Amino acid sequence: MPSEEQLRDVEHAMVAELARLRWRSGLSLKAVCDAVGGGLDPTRLSRILRGERAMSLWQFVGLCRVFDRSPGRLVDEACRVMLDPLALRDLAPFLELMPKRK
């Protein structure tokens, strides 16, 4: 069973990957929010993608859909990143932009 700290690290990697996918897509925060729907606003999305606010399950699934990723694959990739130093190196610039969670 993963520790609480390991789960936070995986969550952090998932958020960093979503931020990277948004950056690569070139979509504005508003365009992503419109695609996700459900009342997600750009300010909240920005805070989610900076790791300042937790996302709900529907927001996570909606973001995965917008970026054409299966939620399971994104979770698997986040777990791999936290265990593979080379993968972690690739995501490091995005992880460094996010504040540390307490």
> pLDDT tens digits for 62-75?
999 999 999 999 98
Q: Residue 67 and residue 18: Cα distance in Å, rounded? A: 8
Would you give the end-to-end CA distance of the chain in angstroms? 21
Q: Which amino acid is at 101?
A: R
Q: What is the pLDDT of residue 13?
A: 87
**Weakly modelled stretches of the chain, pLDDT under 70:** 1-2, 83-102
* Domains of the chain, residue spans: 4-97
* 97/102 Cα distance (integer angstroms): 16
pLDDT score of 31 = 96
Residue 87, pLDDT score: 60
Homologous superfamily in CATH for domain 4-97: lambda repressor-like DNA-binding domains (1.10.260.40)
**C-alpha to C-alpha distance for 13 and 47, rounded to whole angstroms:** 15
